[in-house]
Amino acid sequence: MTIRVLIVEDSVIFQTVLKNIFNTSPDIEVAGIARDGLEALALIPQLDPDVICTDFHMPKMDGLEFTKQVMLHYPRPILVISVSVQTDQRHRIFELLEAGAVDIFPKPRGSADPESQINHLRLINKIKILAGVKVFRKLTPQASLKSDFLPNTQQQTPGKNTSEIKIIAIGTSTGGPQALQTIFASLPANFSVPIVCVQHISHGFLDGLIQWLSLTSGLPIEIALSGITPQPGKIYFPPEKKHLELNSQGQFVCSDSPPLGGHRPAVDVTFKSVARIYASNAIAVLLTGMGKDGAAGMQMIRQAGGLTIAQDRETSIIFGMPKEAIELGAVQHILPLPEITPFIIQKSTSI
């Protein structure tokens, strides 16, 4: 089935670049092109696109207001395709995710060099992923009132509920920024366990993500540096295009090792080092995202005696990474997003 895409972009040059990229895929049809959000809103009822690609900065109606209107009247997957903005404004791009957009992708170049061609294929794959996303809604604490536990959750791994929690490791991909905002905003300012988070994100957007998350987080968020020991009550992200591990002294090690499963940073790399260093003193969480990154690492954490949690299907934008870990037998608790933070707090302070 052909995926119908509506391009919302005020630059004629980028309109052409995007149209040419999508035309290379037999699975994608450019249903229409709009120069701004206002024009796009008038086209949606006529074209009924499966996926909308929108810029942020546009005349008449910008991407943020457009996203709000789409979610209100014509809810469907929105991919924000934009350039990194000025340093002090980078967080604003993530306001579109808060409004209901699914993901962010950097504006591609129209050149034929190998790096650009790889980026074009990633964009096409992103469109195919978003076309399969069916449910769009703001996640609230009322989304679910009942925890969903695996049938074998009572088969306790030795030590996992009796050890002091010294680190929390989180992995996520598509839909992750929105999920992380929910989790971080719910943590108390006196939370005393360090958090290491690996988010698959396009190059150039990490600083903006951290700025945006910091607006609602009671805990400081920063980029991890090699040689630094995780500090209580701080949230760390790996640098862009770097794997993040912990050495035997418990210090961060950022590396340029080859991508794992196409990812650098990779959740599995971080999770496996957490399993080796922290064992039963760790909590691992896998949130919404496509693919299987993190499943093998989470299994190692569970085997080492750590506590493992996966976001449930109902509150995941993409139930890929959690599903892979569940099927591998790596997950002890499946929880709706609003219940993950209270569960973490309970387990981290129950000793």
Give me the active site residues, please. Answer: 173, 200, 293
Nearest to 184 by CA among 141, 223, 214: 214
Q: What CA–CA distance (Å, rounded) separates 264 from 256?
A: 8
Q: What CA–CA distance (Å, rounded) separates 223 from 252?
A: 11
Nearest to 25 by CA among 132, 103, 122: 122
Residue 298: partners with Cβ closer than 8 Å, 6 or more residues away:
171, 271, 284, 286, 308, 310, 325, 328, 330, 331
Note whether 22 and 53 are within 8 A (CB).
no
φ and ψ of 182, to 5 deg: -60, -45
**What does DSSP assign to residue 73?**
H
Say which residue the tokens 């395709």 belong to: 81
In DSSP terms, which residues pair with 213 in a beta bridge?
Answer: none
Is residue 73 classed exposed, middle or buried when 0-12, 13-18 and 19+ CB atoms within 10 A define those classes? exposed
Amino acid at 292: K
Complete edge-to-edge strand list for the sheet that includes strand 148-149: 148-149, 333-335, 307-311, 282-286, 167-172, 195-199, 235-237, 221-223
Note whether 325 and 296 are within 8 A (CB).
no
Say which residue the tokens 């360090």 belong to: 194
**What does DSSP assign to residue 277?**
H
Q: Which long-range contacts (CB under 8 A, 24 or more apart) does 38-45 make?
A: 38/66, 39/8, 40/6, 40/8, 40/66, 41/66, 41/69, 41/70, 41/73, 41/74, 43/6, 44/6, 44/70, 44/73, 44/74, 45/74
